[in-house]
Amino acid sequence: MTSEDSSPARPGRRQLLRAGSLGAGALGVGAASIGLDRTLSGRGASGASASASAAAPPLHGGETVPFHGEHQAGIETPAPAAATFVGLDLREEVDREGVLRMLRLLTDDAARLTRGEPPLADTEPEMATQPAALTVTVGFGRGLMERAERAAPSWLDPLPPFGIDELQDEFTGGDLMLQVAAEDPVTVSHALRMLLKDARAFTRVRWVQPGFRRSPGIVAPGSTMRNLFGQLDGSANPATGTPHFSHVVWIEEGPFAGGTSMVIRRIRMDMDGWDEVDRTAREQSTGTRLDDGAPLSGGTETSAADFEQVSANGFPVIGEFSHMRRARGVDDGEHQEIFRRPYNYDLAPPPGGGALSESGQIFVSFQADLLGQFLPIQQRLDTLDLLNRWTTPIGSAVFAIPPGCAEGEHIGETVLR
């Protein structure tokens, strides 16, 4: 039995690919190289342990994602296996200087942790040595902007109430959001704790939402995730690394240029109710095939849907109340896009209720224009969407994601200047 720290770090092809895919951000590439070098030198790549035999698969605990860059990491970068989202409220006494001090502290922590280095005050430095593609993404609520005495974006407010909502305070709102994500949940746990310890003098924890996706190496990178209903979820996402993605996600002008808006909603999924629905009805509810995610009009997961197609008896093949048709605004002559990066949750059921679990999705979307992209989609789905029968939003928050920062800067520096 060998200690986990004695394992050789071999960033390998995957890390290079990951770093390479960030080519659009020049700062990012530089930082990636630094991360790579450090990882290789920091943990004795030459040391041959039992695990480094030819038979063992390459380890990727040393993989790093650049923290610095034009955009914050954790949005366009591949969604890793584990993420915890935290909403924080600023303490009453924290003023503009306090906000800036906190952001400097969190930025320094995040920059170190994402490189696989312990932050300055880390009491468990051994826990920091496997960054596992760690990203830390920071979002601002209106409360933070006001405390920092700077104008919040006009759209930075809670979403309007929707008829389907059953929001709970414990999953809603917040002045500051941290998304801490990595290929490894132990890494997430330690990184988050370090950040929260340093944030503690300035904030109170409002909500914490741990989520999961497939572990690394289970399915091909870039695969669309199945949610806990078994649906391929995210097929319509813009492809990362494309001009189209940038157009959909990144704000182009103003202080938040290079940033984006983030919606995080906790969607409870009624697993028991869903069980009672047969396969045909399930496919009708989304307008897509369960097995491969293709539109019911035919083709493959990535095929364009034919919303005009009708069945032998004259009804649309992709039904009028289907999630796909409603989300795309087919019958409203509209079409908006957002980028979804959701995580699953599956927890112990509330005691005594007879449920088998408390399950659902941490819905996360990023879009350049909250009011112009996200809101119309959500309004259409609120009005009419077959899936609403089995899904209930129980938490909701909106954050402004500032752009990335360069070395020596702190997150939000340009927007709070």
Residues with a catalytic annotation lie at: 233
**Which neighbouring-strand residues pair with 232?**
226
**Residue 230 or residue 298: which is nearer to its own copies going by CB?**
230
19 Cβ neighbours under 8 A, 6+ residues apart:
28, 29, 32, 33, 35, 36, 65, 66
Minimum CB separation of residue 41 from its own copies in Å reads 18
**Which neighbouring-strand residues pair with 269?**
391
Pair of tokens at residue 272: 């028991």
Q: How far is CA 188 from CA 116, 350, 370, 400, in A?
A: 12, 25, 28, 22
Minimum CB separation of residue 169 from its own copies in Å reads 9
Would you say 296 and 288 are in contact if contact means Cβ atoms under 8 Å apart?
A: yes
Would you say 31 and 68 are in contact if contact means Cβ atoms under 8 Å apart?
A: yes
**Residue 207 or residue 374: which is nearer to its own copies going by CB?**
207
Minimum CB separation of residue 312 from its own copies in Å reads 27
**Residue 222 or residue 333: which is nearer to its own copies going by CB?**
222
The beta strands (E) that lie in 134-183 are given as: 135-140, 176-182
Minimum CB separation of residue 239 from its own copies in Å reads 6
Minimum CB separation of residue 144 from its own copies in Å reads 19
Q: How far apart are CA 230 and CA 181, in angstroms?
A: 23
Length of the chain: 417
399 Cβ neighbours under 8 A, 6+ residues apart:
139, 140, 141, 156, 174, 177, 261, 262, 264
Q: How far apart are CA 402 and CA 248, in angstroms?
A: 16
**Which neighbouring-strand residues pair with 399?**
262
**Residue 11 or residue 259: which is nearer to its own copies going by CB?**
11
Determine whether 257 is exposed, middle or buried from the number of CB atoms within 10 Å of its CB (0-12, 13-18, 19+).
middle
Would you say 159 and 375 are in contact if contact means Cβ atoms under 8 Å apart?
A: yes
**Residue 176 or residue 232: which is nearer to its own copies going by CB?**
232
Minimum CB separation of residue 93 from its own copies in Å reads 16
**Residue 85 or residue 374: which is nearer to its own copies going by CB?**
85
